[in-house]
Each structure stands twice: as structure tokens, then as C-alpha cells.
Structure 1
Amino acid sequence: MKTLSSPFLPVTASVGQVMRDVLIALAPGVVVYALLFGPGVLINIVLAVLTCELIEAAVLKLRGRALKPFLLDSSALVTGVLLALAVPPTAPWWIIVVGCGFAMLLGKHVYGGLGYNPFNPAMVGFVVLLISFPVQMTAWPSMHPLWDTTDAVSGATALDHVKTQLSLERTLSEIRGDTPLGLFAGRGWEWIALAYLLGGGYMLWRRTIRWQIPVGLLLGMTVIAGAFWAYDGDRYASPLFHWFSGATMLGAFFIATDPVSAATTPRGRFVFGFGIGMLTYVIRTWGGYPDGIAFAVLLFNICAPTLDRYLQPRIYGQRRDKPQA
């Protein structure tokens, strides 16, 4: 990973420490997810972590690299957890294995491994699964707390439900009384989003991530969602709905902030996050998928080097020169 702008300060946290902070921050979301939707997410996490670690070890062995330092940095573990959280908890086991394979091979090692990947590996695996296996990837369960002994049933997420109902010419005021919707967004999903927000606050406090990307993402989503909501509140959901439904909080704090594939300059990070927030709303509202975080992140991963190049901070005492072509 190359930092394009000054000041070049020494980094005191190792890769392993950063990844462990991410895992600690994810813990509240995982716990709430499992409590509200059953143990399927925990099974997916265990399977994804084992698969990612095995693939990591196999590739490192083939490349003649030392296993211990790379396996202990927990980067493969974080990739597995993020992918497992993005996949429906009732998905078949082979979905997890295939997704981890694409995440680790196509998203990471084909470029040279950790620090060289231009795309977020977990989102590469997720998008491959979403495009290749749409039926399995859209079968989300209804809320099924661990203390509830009734059988869980499959149902649409809040984003999917709202999108489908709006296409049937229903208004949001009519849709709000339906079962999948909760206080702000999808019933149960709001609490998972709040748990991710809590974890994001922990990472900001620990300085594991910078504020520009999550704030930019949430602000970008708020600006465009607020504009359309003000224009027609019966056709377009409020910014609060978009904040607390889907993968907004997970994306803002845990996915878009990937230090390797995201922008690295202060202004570049903000524009990077702002663009992801706006593009996510566009995909949710007019695209073919109910949530667009993964696609938006990957598209802006492509833009990250350009943003860093043209949004470098001025060197004190010198004029801001245009980047050389």
C-alpha cells in the first residue's frame, strides 16, 4: 500500500492489531444478529473463517511464503467474517465456500496478497455470489430470536420489500404497516445497524479508522435521500430508513474503510465515502438490486488512486501544483 500524501507519520499499530480491533468492533453486531435471527450467522462465520484461513495457507505455501506471520495477522479472518455477515444466514454451505474462494483468490492473492489488492476482497466474493446465485443470495429469513421456538420462515429484507411494493404502485404510507418494517427500517435490522454503529464508534475512538469515509458515506446518502424524500415522501424513503436498513452501517465503518483499497488522502477519503453513499442510494432506488453497498464500494475502489492523486493536500510553503500526467 502506497501513501500518496504527507505527512508521512510512523504507524504504531501492526496489521494484526488493526484486524483485531475490527473483530472486536464487529462483535456487538454479530451478537445482536445471532440473537434476533438465529445461529445460522455463527455457523456461516465459522465456515467462512476456516475456508479463508485454509485458502490463505495453501496459497502462501504455493508462493513459498512464511505461513506464521500472514496467518497470525488475522486479515483472512476478517475477510471471512465480513463475507459471512453479508450472506443470508440460511444460505447453503457451498455458497460460503465458493464466496471465500473468490474473495481470497480473485480479490486478494491474484494481485500479490495483502497490501496489493485494489478491491475489497470480501466484496469481490459477495458480488460474485450475488451475480451467480441470485436465488440463494436473496433468501433472507424473517426475524427469529434464539428464545423463539417457532420455525423460521424466509422473507424479504426491508429494502427488498419496499422496492417490490413501490414497483406495484403502492405508497410508503401504505407499506409502513406491513410486517417486515420496524421502527426505522427492517424489523430487527435496525438493532443490528445500531450495533455496527457502536462498533464503528469504538474503531474511531481507537483510531483504527479515520472519520472521513464513514461520515462522507452517511452524508452522501443523506443528501440524495433527503432531497428525494422532500420531493415525494410517498415514493422515496427517508434518510433514516436508508441509514438503518441494509448494509449501510456495516459498509460505512467496516467495508468502505478498508485501508488497502480505499482512498488515503484526507479529502480523497471524504469524497470516496460521499460517492459510495450517493451511488448506494442510486442502486437501491433505481438499480436491479435492493442494496448497493458492495457494488458502490468496488466501483469507488477503482476511483481511489485517482482521488488520491488529485486531492493531495498542499505542501506547506509551496504552491499546489497540478499532478503530472
Structure 2
Amino acid sequence: MWSSPFITQPSSVSQIMLRVLLALIPGIALYVWYFGPAILVSIVLASATALATEAAMLKLRQRPLKPFLTDNSALLTAWLLALSIPPLAPWWLVVVGTAFAIAVSKHLYGGLGNNPFNPAMIGYAVLIISFPAHMTHWLTPHALAGTELTFGEQLDYIFNSVLPKGLSLDAVTMATPLDTLKTQLHLGLSVDNIRDMPIYGRLAGKGSEMVSIGFAIGGIYLLLTRIISWHLPVAFLATLFATAGIFHLLDPAHYVTPLFHWFSGAAMLGAFFILTDPVTSPTTTKGKLYFAFGAGLLTYLIRAFGGFPDGIAFATLLMNICVPLIDAWTQPKVFGKKGGGK
């Protein structure tokens, strides 16, 4: 018996998560092209840790393994966390952050569908607060690197903390463009002087701006395939653009352009892959817009005035706290019932 052409089968959780993972590939490919293959090691480590921790927690909770291990949600958490930390991070840092994200921020709240906070961002927050020194050594892009590590040398550092003789970590790593901007502004330099530094390209940091474009391409794929709706990414990016634009117009010597904020740090990754987590974001259309507006505003305020160079993780977690209230305020009225849907 044939079904009508307008009736479609809903996608399973594993299919949706798989498509999101596929959408990350353009950004990852550009990451490897501009910074080397070390990020792939972090992704593999995080993936193995996520699946092992997921299996252990399911066993402790006496839940079946196969349905949850194959839904790809643990892998997505692993990939997002791996992409949020330096690719030369020691192996144990990746393992600790991923295990905490899965065991504590996901399973201690009841597993997939019950966690109020984005697990990957919880893992990132734990690492940046607990091990700040290890979270500042980002690989220098090939275009700027005077000395480059081979893949074998990168592996040796990740697993053994050993660099080639006579080579220091500072020779192959650097601060992020956002961190450099904040540091140099505190030293009294103007935006124009800072943007003349060799680490910056046309939009933002050399290499990192292209990685952001890769994640934007993946995000557009998610929009076209209707895996995510436009409300969260568009409202977030519009808020970040508008807020940065206002400050830039008021004082261009101390505040960079909106496009710099779009293509720096984790803005594109956050817009299309982190904020759009269906479990930890609002369910209503209005709620999504309010949520994204708050996240965009907080991201800019943390970047411009906070103690961290990027604000995506903490903006996401702060807005996660507000989701129950946002959903309660934005529920549509029940037809025929005075005073709304209570």
C-alpha cells in the first residue's frame, strides 16, 4: 500500500545526530588544512572516551547498551568538545573533559533528553576553569608558523608531553585572535594597530576565519535539510552582529567590527551546532528567539568585558538555566481557555 506523497517518516535520533556530525566535516577539514591533523587525534580520543563512559553509565543505570550507544549523541558531544579545546591538549585533558560531560552533565540528570545543560559546554567549562594554562596553547596556522611539528611530533607531545630537542611550546603555539585582541587592547593599542598584526586576515584570525566559514557551510546544510530551524542561529548571529556594530560605531578604536566577531572563536560553531541542541534549548518559536538573543548578547559582553576571550560556552550555559522560564513564558494560549495555557 502506497502512502501519500505529503506524508514523511520522522527521522530517528541516530539519523539526526549523524547528519549533524556530517555537517561538522567541512569545518574539521579546513581545521586540518590550516592547522594540521592534531585535531583528529583529539576527536578520536574524545569519541572513544565518550562511548566508553556512555557504556559504563548505562551499565550502572541498568539500561540497554545498543540503543543508546548507536544514537550518536555521545559522539556529537565528543566532537563538539574536541573542537572547543586546543588540538595539542594532552590526552588526559580530552579524556577528563569528555568523561565529565557524559557522566555528570548527561547521565546524572537522567540521560539524553533530561539534561538541562549542554554537555559539551559543561565539559569545556570544567577544563577552562580547572586547567586554564593547558587551554591557551593553540596551534599556529601553517601560514604563520616558522617551525611546524610533524604528525608524529604532535602525537609525541599529546601523549608524552615531549617536543623535539631545542623547541619550546611557544614556538609552535599562539594565543587565539580573540585573546590577542583583548590583551593588546589592555596594553593600550588601537584596533587598527592590532589588526595589522600578522595573525589577522581579512575577517578575523588567519586560518581560524576559514574554519568558521567551514562550520557556517555545515550549518547551512542543517538548515536546508531542516535538521535545525533558522530561529536560533539567525537570532544569535544577528544579535552578536548588532551589538558589536553599535560598540564599533561608538568607538572604532577599541571595538572591532561585527564580522570579526562572527568569524572569530566559536561563533559559527555555537550558532549552528551548540545553541541548536534540541534538549537544552527552548521548544517554542518565541522562546528560541529570546534564548538566542540572550546568548548573543552575553557572548559579546563576555568577549568585550569579561575575563575569558570567548563567551560561547558560558553564554550557552547561562541561557540553559533560563530555558524552563522561557518555555513557561512563551507557551501559546490554549484555544478556548482564558489566560493562556496554564
For normalisation by structure 1, the TM-score amounts to 0.93
* Corresponding residue of 2:329: 310
2:236 partner letter: L
Map of 1:201 onto structure 2 = 220
Question: CA deviation digits over 1:74-113, x for unaligned, max 9?
Answer: 1111111111000100110000000011101121000010
1:321 counterpart residue number:
339
Distance 1:214 1:11, change over 3 A: farther
Q: Is residue 134 of structure 2 the alignment partner of residue 136 of structure 1?
A: yes
Residue of structure 2 equivalent to 1:182: 201
2: CA distance, partners of 1:83 / 1:44: 9
CA distance in 1, matches of 2:9, 2:287: 20
After TM superposition, give the deviation of residue 314 of structure 1 in Å: 3.8
Question: Are residue 265 (structure 1) and residue 262 (structure 2) matched?
Answer: no
SS for the counterpart of 1:259 is coil
Asked whether 1:34 is paired with 2:32, we answer yes
Correspondence for 1:239? 258
Deviates more, 1:245-254 or 1:178-187: 178-187
Per the TM alignment, residue 313 of structure 1 is displaced from its structure 2 partner at its CA by: 2.9
Structure 1 pair 60/163, CA: closer, same or farther in 2 (3 Å)?
same
| Equivalent residues of 2:332, 2:340 under 8 A apart | no
Q: Secondary structure at the match of 1:183?
A: coil
1:280 to 293, 299, 324: 299
RMSD of aligned Cα (Å): 1.8
Deviation at 1:323, TM superposition (A): 6.2
Larger deviation: 173-182 or 151-160?
A: 151-160
Once residues 278 and 221 of structure 1 are traced to their aligned partners in structure 2, the CA distance between those partners, rounded to angstroms, is: 6
Note the alpha carbon deviations across 1:155-187, whole angstroms, 9 max, x for none: 011100100000011100111110211110011
Counterpart AA for 1:96? V
The residue that corresponds to 1:226 in the other structure is: 245
* Residue aligning to 1:253: 272
3-state SS of 1:58 partner: helix
What are the superposed Cα offsets for residues 250-286 of structure 1, whole Å, 9 maximum, x if unpaired?
A: 0000001000001110010011011101100000000
Measured against aligned partners, the alpha-carbon deviations of 1:46-81 in whole angstroms (never above 9, x if no partner) come to 000000000000111111111111011011111111
Q: Is the 8 A contact 1:161 1:180 kept in 2?
A: no
Distance across 2 between alignment mates of 1:288 and 1:16: 38
Trace 1:15-34 onto structure 2 (pairs within 5 A): 15-34=13-32
Q: Which residue does the alignment assign to 1:90?
A: 88
**How far apart in 1 are the matches of 2:310 and 2:148?**
29
CA distance in 2, matches of 1:133, 1:171: 31
- Report matched runs for 1:163-178 at 5 Å: 163-178=182-197
After superposition, the Cα gap between the structure-2 partners of 1:57 and 1:45, relative to the gap in structure 1 and judged at 3 Å, is same
The 10-residue stretch of structure 1 (197-206 or 136-145) with the greater mean CA deviation from structure 2: 136-145
> C-alpha deviations, 1:175-227, integer Å up to 9, x for none?
11102111100111111111100000000111111110101110111121111
Question: Given the superposition, is the C-alpha separation of residues 134 and 29 from structure 1 closer, same or farther in structure 2, using an over 3 Å criterion?
Answer: same
Corresponding residue number in structure 1 for 2:68:
70
Would the aligned equivalents of 2:333 and 2:341 in 1 still touch at CA under 8 Å? Answer: no
CA distance in 2, matches of 1:181, 1:16: 39
The residue identity in structure 1 corresponding to 2:45 is L
TM-superposed deviation, 1:308 = 1.0
Instruction: Name the structure 2 match of 1:46.
Output: 44
**Structure 1: unaligned runs, 5 residues or longer:** 1-8
Cα 1:10–1:107, aligned 2, differ >3 Å: closer, same or farther? farther
**How far has the Cα of 1:10 moved from its partner?**
9.7
Answering whether residue 316 of structure 2 is matched by residue 297 of structure 1, we say yes
Note the C-alpha offset of 1:321. 2.1
Q: Secondary structure at the match of 1:134?
A: coil
Give, in whole Å, the separation in 2 of the partners of 1:293 and 1:212.
17
Q: 1:232 to 1:75 in 2, by over 3 A?
A: same
Post-superposition Cα deviations, 1:21-63, rounded to whole Å, max 9, x if no partner, equal 1001001011100111111100000000000000000111111
> Which residue is 2:11 aligned to?
13
Q: Secondary structure at the match of 2:215?
A: helix
Instruction: Say whether the 8 Å CA contact 2:147–2:172 is kept in structure 1.
Output: no
The 8 Å contact of residues 156 and 180 in structure 1, kept in 2 or not, is answered as no
Contact persistence 1:309–1:323 (CA under 8 A) = no
Q: Residue 156 of structure 1 corresponds to which residue in structure 2?
A: 175
Using the size of structure 2 for normalisation, the TM-score is 0.88
Identity percentage of aligned residues:
52
